[in-house]
Amino acid sequence: MQQVASANPDSWTGAAAAAARARRGVLVERGTGLGEQLDRAAAAHGEAAGQVASLRSGMGAAVSYARSRDFQITDGGAVVSHATGWSQLDPRRAYWRVQIWTSVQTLVFRINAVDVRFAARLAVLAAKGQLSAWGTGIGDALLSGAQFAGDKIDDGLDWSRDRWEDLGELADDVRDTAGEHLAAFGAGVDRFLDAAGERPRWLEELLDDGQLPSVSEVLATGAYLTGLGGGAVANLVTGEDQRFFDDRTPFVGDPRHVNALDGRRLADPSDLMRDMWDVYSTRDEPGAERPSVQITVIENPGQPPRYIVAIPGTTESIDTWDGWTGHQGGTDWAANLKGVGYGTTSSTQAVMAAIDEVTANHPGGTRPEIVLTGHSQGGIIAANLASDPSFADRYDIGGIMTAGSPIQSAPIPHDVPVINFDNQYDPVPKLDFGGAGGAAQPNVVDVDISNAEGESGLFDWHGQETYDTKIRDIMQPGTSQWLEDESPVHDFDERISRFYPEGSGTIHTYQVEVGRQ
């Protein structure tokens, strides 16, 4: 502009020179004004860029915070929970969700504010340029300003409408969320009421026969109902049916003949313990969704078929979500409580149906002879089957062998021989409090096994391998270090000896997947 101002058109004289000087003045003035506007526009751009950078930082922080709380912010600004397992029950999640949603709306407001402020500053600069432009009428400038004002008013109305729509969507979300939470709570309450309306076995015996219940039965019933009530509250908090303590309905698969097991040794209680351990692994076989009960058919020449049943115990870990939320395997920790407190579970009914199906395919005798075995919860199921009058009417129960199982509270018929192996420091079989408070069970023999050097912790004390190793040692007369008196074990072995194959006797092994629907 300085060069233009200092220029001297010497070749022009008179009116032409005056006109050139006037035009030169206008150009200088307009150029100076344009430079100032460019400086202001650059400043506006720089300020907007700084605000956008701050917004990007805020957006990143909001996304990171949401992820840290197991939430996701969608492209549309919705806040979605991705919590699983125990974290769903954290009562702070409702607060976190509102906090994140508020952050999102604040960012949206700031983005719109930056947009409006930047557009307004540029428009003002443009309006000034119009008003000062040479040869442009004031009317054009006013029209442009009016159009700009109208555009901004329209933008403001659009923004306001968008915010009202956001509030409407929030209200819809609140209504839908409240409905989901109440529906989930209702499912939990229905489950609790169904269980509360079901008579436990001990209550039927009390009302029908005046038989007092054992302490363990009453405590287990109370714990199971408490778990169901807590599950209803958990549903209300999470808005989803978590199926806490849900025993569902029984599932029974088709019997599978396992030829590879037909040639195994079956000669004493140590072999029964081996089978009790092996059935745990059936749930890990390809295509399996549940554990299987193993039913062995023993056919000796000239004798009707006899049966030995190995029932799997608890298959879900106590510290996992599946251990308490109605896993289809059917032998979770909630089923332990129901089995002791109510005397039956879905898995108990499924095992009974599996036995009925296999025995129906091997006719012989009107009341098949059977031995029931199981470790931990498998022993509870075995004891509950024997205590079920309908099962005892259909089968001649030749014996029950359990390991690490609290079965003293089950009303097993007194003519059924029962042996329960109890490792010295294993707490699980002691949870029946020795049947305290209930009827005496003289036919149940608890075999107390000494603790081994180096055994420490529940896994060692209660583990299947521990019982398998010690029972195998016990069956070698005179070599065991685990019992002061081994005679009860050998007596039981003698009483069930007819169930072992003899001479040309054969074994047919079937596995049936059992659990919950």
Per-residue pLDDT of 91-124, as tens digits, reads 778 778 878 887 887 777 777 766 666 666 666 6
First to last CA, the chain: 88
Residue 171's SS3 state is helix
Per-residue pLDDT of 32-46, as tens digits, reads 666 676 677 677 667
- Domain positions in the chain: 43-83+90-127+138-238, 250-516
Q: Which CA distances in Å does 513 have to 4, 234, 332?
A: 97, 31, 15
pLDDT number for residue 139: 43
Residue bearing the bigger pLDDT, 84 or 262: 262
User: Quick one: average pLDDT of 239-251?
Assistant: 95
Query: Do residues 314 and 78 make contact, with C-beta atoms less than 8 angstroms apart?
Result: no
Cα–Cα distance for residue pair 269/290, rounded to 1 Å? 26
pLDDT number for residue 134: 43
Q: Which helix (H) or strand (E) holds 293?
A: strand 292-299
Q: Which amino acid is at 24?
A: R
pLDDT number for residue 121: 64
pLDDT number for residue 56: 83
DSSP string, 9-21: -TT--HHHHHHHH
- Number of Cβ within 10 Å of residue 191's Cβ equals 23
pLDDT number for residue 34: 64
Sign of CA dihedral 465, 467, 472, 477: positive
Q: Which helix (H) or strand (E) holds 513?
A: strand 506-516
Structure tokens at 189: 């309450």
Query: Do residues 185 and 244 make contact, with C-beta atoms less than 8 angstroms apart?
Result: no
131 conformational bin, left if phi > 0, alpha if psi -120 to 50, beta if neither: alpha
Structure tokens at 321: 């979500």
Structure tokens at 116: 């409006």
Per-residue pLDDT of 179-237, as tens digits, reads 788 889 999 999 999 999 999 999 999 999 999 999 999 999 999 999 999 999 999 98
Who contacts 429 (Cβ-Cβ below 8 Å, separation ≥6)?
Answer: 404, 405, 406, 407, 420, 422, 423, 446
- Residue 247: strand pairing partners: none
Structure tokens at 278: 């092996």
* Strand ranges (E), 334-430: 369-375, 396-403, 418-423
Per-residue pLDDT of 439-492, as tens digits, reads 889 999 999 999 888 888 888 999 999 999 999 988 886 666 788 788 899 999
Torsion of CA 315, 318, 321, 326, to 10 degrees: 50
Residue 141's pLDDT band, with cuts at 50, 70 and 90, is very low
Cα–Cα distance for residue pair 304/267, rounded to 1 Å? 18
